[in-house]
Structure formats: structure tokens, C-alpha cells
Chain A
């Protein structure tokens, strides 16, 4: 159909650049020209630099701190210690997990690298010189780096959590069993599950360690605090994934009223969970700026980033899974010992001390299950963030996808077939899981069959069997592994009724203003760290309000202008803020409909929305474009309608969304060197409605690469003395272009029934599904030689040791 200008409907749709098209990113012009504006690019007149004295010991008492030589150095403006912060009540700060954390060492240190004193100087070189001049007298204390030891040890790590009479007051998540214990969190049916497992004909058991690692975005954490003493306003620029939450926290701990604080997240050089929390550097910079009256910048270096800001994982998981002789799973048991380090600074919604670990029944219809998580203090850095995943979902998915493989070995079954017979069926959605979730939608069988067919799964198994033969007869020294994983993510936290952080409900928001000439600005409570929000949110809006994406500016990250929102992590931007955007767009459309009806001189119900305009029903030649309507909103007095065209929406999601996917990895392993060669990686993702396929694909490549890193070598390792052994990029594995394969991406589309546009979120799925896929491939390569399970990370040395233990070195 053509309208009067000879433009087809398809052309009008295309001109919008709305949902589903591969719109090029609007962010890229400035980034490719070196004109991004990251925290360390910010310069202000008179700005000073902060730097930390950090503890070389993992556990020690501080006997004295001598700052005199540092203060005498030309260019040093101030040195802060806990004694300076105490009168302000800022020597400790609340953590996101309901614990508290020292801002500067208050009499003792609990992990290597802990902040002891904060130097403020004219430039970063003088600050670094001053750090060297500060003399701290430490008395070493026994170090605990193992959570199981910790639960038995007489050594008290947190004296502040033991009452004077020696009793243990409850923690933020209930009773504590030991002075180094933080919480126990139980979900599911303990008795029933143990009965099912005890009486089952088939049971597989395994203990797996999901090692400690770190999100390590390319840009480290940092901030610039600027207290304007004349008007009493504090401006805080920083690497914040949740700027509004940071503003509220700063207000609560500093006593500055929230309207006098402006938090700005400028461009962020990757986050992956590392930039969710509040760090001592932020607090000290704010205090230093208040004290000195000038702006203070603090940017950590890479070693500080890896050693002290939020780590991820560090879960010991003990599992039991039972099945009928035909392979139908009947019960799942999971016991976790979680190492939280010196303070509990996990970033999880308040009611979920172990995040959404209770998604650990995975994509399977498991009738009975039980999960218990114990959080434990040790002498390691605090953290426990979700590294490119929704809260602890990576751990959960790794657990179930390894348990499935172990069960397949136990039953001598094909692991793909075992998955298939246990998948939740399409007609079972919405599905109530044994551990309390309501999965929104899914079609697992279709996705699985598509994936297996795409890689010729049968053919791969035949080739693998031949390879084993060849290996045994000495024709090759390379084994072949086929890694499978089928994951269900749980993202988009979340419904305010059960999800909050520090009491703040986890809704999100969008505010739209349409300008008279038919362009617009939309502001959101989230913040992009590379996800391309300025591109994709404009696409959602373009489809909703019929103005071209190119005419819509998206702005985020400034608390003075953006509506309140909980930020970007846990793949929540699309499920929550994306929904808010669509809903705000619909409010605009509702008003536009009334304006259009007035202009067309018909009843409101007699016009309908069509791509970029409202048309009179049955008379498509009579219409008003959104551009015309926008102009009318500002230049005509319309009876009963306020001037202007603006809307705001705060979206409280009714449920989480549950993206899923099927991944298959084929790798060759050199038994003599432990090297792996990833021959093929196929990734099928179902993230519901697809907003921008180009960006989805980019997210999948990135997430898979971070998964490859974690599975094949990346870790934060400690020695017995609590020294961090992987504090630089020399030791901490970040894959380069040389180590990374090309990935094949694919998709199915199962929209979320409760999301306004059916989108589920995708940024983290590839990491969640990728880690078990790589790990399963390594384990699978050795299955024929009797291996059941070996812990990650599968670096060359560890793989060589596995081969050696299996007697494959002759």
C-alpha cells in the first residue's frame, strides 16, 4: 500500500530504525575518535589526586601509623586514616549485603591490599611518593584462606561481630553458627529431597569448586569528588553501574541531603559487575574534597583493581542428583560453602544472600530439590559480585550443567539425550520450579534439536570415538572434547515485592520529552557500559512512538536529570528499563491519539496508530504523522488537553525474565602440553524479542570470550599467607585475539509473555552458558579414560596434570 507521497508502509517502517533492525551504534562516532569521556579524562581546576597505602598482610593488627614524613613532602595536602574518619562516623561503611566494611583500616586489616591510609596530593606522582613515606607498624595475625578451615578456626576474623560476652549476635541474614560464619540460606524441601535421593535407584554425587575470579573491565574503578562549599553541593563523577543507588548511599552515610548530591556516571569502560558496589576510594575522595574544598580524583591501578575491588564466584558446591533407571531426574541436592572474604560485600537483592543460586535446577523438570548456602569470612578481599551474570546465576548453571554430565557418566548415557528427556516442556510454562521460581516462557526442545542438528552432533560423537581409538593405538596425541550446555538465565531483577537493594525497590524508569519539531530526548535510570543503550533504547522508542531512532537522544547516568533507577547489571536494562521505555512511549502515544483525533475531527476511538502516524480507521488517506502531532501539542490550544508531550514511567516488573540457550563447543586437547584448540563454538540464544541483532551478536561474542577466560585459566589465586598470586595482567588471564575462536551464533525467539515488548535480556547469557560449555568440553575429552570431574580453571598445566593422573603420559 502506498500513501499519497508514494512511500510504502515498509519504507516508513524502515525509516524509523526501530526494533529488530541492525542499527549502527550512535556511540561509536566519539569512541572511534578518542573522544569518549571516561572518569580519568575528567579534569577540574585545582584538582588533587588521592592514593592509598595498602596492607601487605592478609591479617594483621595495626599498632601505629606514622604519616609525618609524608605530610612534610612538598605537594602533599592531607593524609587520612581511620582516626580522621571516626569523628564523622565514616571509618566504616555499609555494604550492599547488610554487613559493614572498613573504609580505612580500623585497628586491623583483613586482606592483602586493604586500604590503610589515603593520601591527597597535587599530582599522582607526589601522591605515590607520599604513600611510600608512610610508616605502618603491623603485628601479623594467623591467616585463613580456606572457608572450611575458617569454620573450625579459633581465630576470630571479625571481632566487631562478636558480643562482649562472647555470644554471636544474628547477622543480616539470621543466626550465625560460628564467629567466622556469615549466614545460612536454605531453599526447598530438605527432608523430602533427602528421602527421594536416599531411596533412588541411581544417584550421582560430585563436589566442585568454582574458583575465585574477577570481572576486570579494561577501565579500572575511579571517581572525581567535587564539593562546592559555596552552594553546598557535592558532585561525584565515577565508574558507577548504579548512579542513583550511589547517590542514596552517599547521602545516607554523609548526611548531605540527596538533592545536594549529583552523581554522574560518564562513559564507562566496561563493568561486568565490578562497578556495582561502593568502594573506600569513593568515600575517601568525597571526604577529602569536603575537607579541602577542591575536587579530588582517585583512580585505582590494575593491581589495586584485581586485589581489592569486588571479586566473583569462590563457591564450593556439593551436589547429589537422583534419577530413575530411564534417566528421569527425581531430586537435586546442593550444598554451597561461599567464601566472602573479610567483609560480606556481595551485591545481591536483600532477600537473596546467595543471589538467585536457587535457579540451580536449571532447564530441567526436577520435582524435588534442596539448596543450602553458608557464607563464610576469610582473609581475602570482599566482593562476590555477579561477573557478567545475574546474581550468582553463573554458579548455579555451572553446577547443574556439570551435575547432568556426571549423571550421564554414572548412567553411561549420552549427555545430550539425558538433557532432552529432562527438559521442561513447552506446554509446562509458566513453570513453577521446585526452588521457587516461575519460569515465564521457553521452548527448550526446539532450541536443543536445532543446535544438535547445526553441529551434526551424531557425526561429532562418531569422530570422537574414532579419535579415542586412534589415541589408544598411538596414531594421535590429541583428544577431542564435545562440550554441551543448555542454560536458563534468570534476569531483570526485579519485582519490588521481593527484590530490593538497601531497601530500594528494583524498578527502573524512563522519562520522555517530545520536542515541538518531532524529535525527542529520553532519560533512563540505567547506565550503559558498552551495551549500546543510546542505540537500542532509541529503537524501542522509535517503534513505540513513531519517530525515527535518529531523532531520539538517549541520556543516562546523571542523577540530576535522569529519573530514579537501580542501574545496569544482572541483564536488567532491557527487561526493566526497556519495559519502562516502552510503557512511557505508550503514554506518549495515548496522548498523541487524542491530539490526532482532535486534529482529524473524529472521536478518539476512530483513529489508530500505524507506524509513524495516526490514521482514521477505514480511511488511511486521512492521517496525522507523529511529527505533526508533536507540533500541534505545542502550538494549539486543544480543549481538555494540556500542552506539551511528555511522559514518565516507573516500571515494576511482574516477574523476572528467563532467557535460555543451547551451546556446543568442540575442542582438541594436546595431552602432552595441555593446550586446547577450540575448533568450533556454536551458540544459540533465545532472548525473546530481538531489539538489535547486531548488538545481540556482539554481546554473545563478548560474553563467550569472558566465559572462555574463566573456564580456561582466569583466577584470583591466593597462597597460604593470603598473598594474591594473580595481581597483574601477567598472571591474570585475559584472552587476546590470538586465543579466541570465531563463534557461530544462532537464535530462536520465545517472547516473554509479561514484558511489554517480549524482550528478555541477553548481555550475560553467553557467559552463564559459556563457562559450563567450555568446562564440559575439557571434561568430556577425558571421559573415555575414566574422568568424572576436574575443577576449573582448565589451564594448560592443570589439563596436563589431569592427563598425567589418568596415566595418559605412558
Chain B
């Protein structure tokens, strides 16, 4: 066991401060230390994307980040995207278009998709498929996930136009 480090994080807008072994993986920090269990573990080798969070403005697989590397970071997880009174457009779209089945990949999918749509607000189907290729789903065959994301993109630009 190595010496503990003093870590500060902002997760979903809330400041967090604690001592942790530097080897602690960020996904375990979130899930076990902070009880944020939306991000899941599907592989721990950066392949499946179930653990995807937004870290300092980038989509990151939190299973392969040491908490020590994340010191000082701003993190958003699925829990920070919407709330029961006001769901994120993507959360609505996934429900509407049957973009999930077992739900295990869903938090990572939606978190990644939210970033994708920030980077590219009106993607083509091909861009969605490419931009989501780091997130594996074993249940849906992706067709309805892609549909959900494209629908959310349309919805978001429509409401942006309406606001302008």
C-alpha cells in the first residue's frame, strides 16, 4: 500500500476532498467512495465505455484513470446530466426511441453522446456511429441508439433555433 494523497475533485458541480491511494482508479472513486454508481464497469481495459465520464471537457474512460491523475478535475457523470424533473434531451430521446435494453451501457452511452453533440451539434449518421465507437452495447445492435442520438441532435438544434 502506498502513501495516501490529498485529492480534490468537482463531481457534478459538487466539491469533493479526500485522501486516497494514488493507484485508486477513478471509476472506483466514483462508484465506491462517492456512491455515484451511474458509470459502470464492463472491462477495466478501456474497451467498452461503460465507465465513460466527462473529465475537464473530454470524454474519458474512468476505469483507466488513476484518481491521482484526476486531482483538481471537473467531472460530469450521467447523474449530472439531468434530473427527474428535467431530463436531458438525450435521456428523453433514448426512452422515446428504445435506445436501451438492459441499461448497463446506457449511462456511458448518454454521457459520451452528450459530449459528441457538444463537439458536433448536427452529426450525420456516420459521424454518430464513428463518434460512439468507443462505447459497446451488447443488447441493442446500436440502431436505436443511433436513432436516439440523431433525434436528440435535431431536437436540440430546433430548440436552439427557437431560442434565437
Interface residues of A (CB under 8 A from B): 24-25, 27-36, 38, 40-41, 43, 74, 123-126, 129, 216-220, 267-270, 272, 299, 301-302, 529-532, 694-695, 697-706, 728-730, 734, 736-738, 740, 742-743
Contacts and interface: CB of A to CB of B under 8 A. Distances in A.
Contacts of B28: 124
B103 to A, nearest CB: 3
Contact of B136 (A40, A531, A697, A734): A734
A34 B129 CA distance: 22
A33 B102 contact: no
A730 B48 CA distance: 10
B104 A269 contact: yes
A124 B24 CA distance: 10
A740 B140 CA distance: 11
Interface in B77-99: 77-79, 82-84, 87, 91, 94-96, 98
Interface in B5-56: 21, 23-24, 28, 31-32, 35-45, 47-48, 50
B96 A24 contact: yes
Contacts of A702: 101, 138-141
Contact of A728 (B43, B134, B146): B43
Contacts of A43: 32, 35
A27 B50 CA distance: 18
A125 B150 CA distance: 41
A38 B103 CA distance: 10
A700 B98 CA distance: 13
Nearest to B79: A34
B72 to A, nearest CB: 23
Given A698-B141, A738-B129, 12 more contacts: A24-B98, A31-B100, A32-B95, A33-B91, A34-B36, A40-B37, A41-B37, A125-B24, A302-B42, A529-B102, A697-B98, A737-B129
Contact of B104 (A35, A38, A703, A730): A38
Contacts of A270: 101-102, 104, 138-139
- How many residues of B sit at the interface, in one of the four size bands? 35 or more
- Chain A facing B: main interface SS: loop
B103 A31 contact: yes
Given A24-B96, A32-B91, A34-B78, A216 B44 contact: no
B133 A738 contact: yes
- Tell which of A28, A34, A217, A267 has the most Cβ of chain B within 10 Å: A34
A28 B142 contact: no
B153 interface: no
9 contacts: A34-B37, A218-B139, A270-B138, A299-B41, A702-B139, A728-B45, A736-B135, A737-B132, A737-B135
A32 B106 contact: yes
B103 A269 contact: yes
A754 B100 CA distance: 32
A387 B142 CA distance: 19
Contact of B102 (A40, A125, A269): A269
B137 interface: yes
A425 to B, nearest CB: 33
A531 B101 contact: yes
Contact of A730 (B47, B87, B107, B138): B47
A698 B144 contact: yes
A701 B102 contact: no
Nearest to A126: B1
Given A25-B95, A218-B50, A36 B104 contact: yes
A41 B79 CA distance: 14
A729 B103 contact: no
B79 A36 contact: no
- Tell which of A126, A267, A270 has the most Cβ of chain B within 10 Å: A270
A31 B138 CA distance: 15
Contacts of A36: 103-104, 106
Contact of B38 (A33, A124, A218, A705): A33
B41 A40 contact: yes
Interface in B92-126: 94-96, 98, 100-107, 110
Contact of A729 (B41, B48, B104): B48
B69 interface: no
Contact of B39 (A29, A34, A532, A697): A34
A529 B103 CA distance: 9
Closest 5 CB pairs of A and B: A34-B38, A31-B103, A269-B104, A530-B102, A701-B141
B37 to A, nearest CB: 4
A367 to B, nearest CB: 38
A737 B44 contact: no
B101 A32 contact: no
Contacts of B45: 302, 728-730
A33 B140 contact: no
A232 to B, nearest CB: 30
A218 B136 contact: yes
B128 A737 contact: yes
B138 A34 contact: no
A219 B133 contact: no
B143 interface: yes
Contacts of B98: 24-25, 694-695, 697-698
Contacts of B144: 698, 701
Given A272-B138, A737-B145, A219 B40 contact: yes
A668 B101 CA distance: 31
Contacts of A267: 102-103
B30 to A, nearest CB: 11
Contacts of A217: 102, 104, 138
A706 B139 CA distance: 8
Contacts of A728: 43, 45, 47
Given A530-B102, A530-B103, A532-B101, A705 B142 contact: yes
A736 B24 CA distance: 29
Contacts of A299: 41
A736 B105 CA distance: 12
Nearest to B100: A31
- Tell which of B42, B79, B91, B133 has the most Cβ of chain A within 10 Å: B42
A33 B84 contact: yes
A736 B107 contact: no
Nearest to A743: B143
Contact of A219 (B31, B84, B104, B140): B104
Contacts of B104: 36, 38, 217-219, 269-270
Nearest to A708: B141
Contacts of B82: 33
Interface string B64-79: 0000000000000111
B39 A530 contact: no
- Tell which of B36, B79, B96, B98 has the most Cβ of chain A within 10 Å: B98
Nearest to A299: B41
Contacts of A704: 141
A139 to B, nearest CB: 32
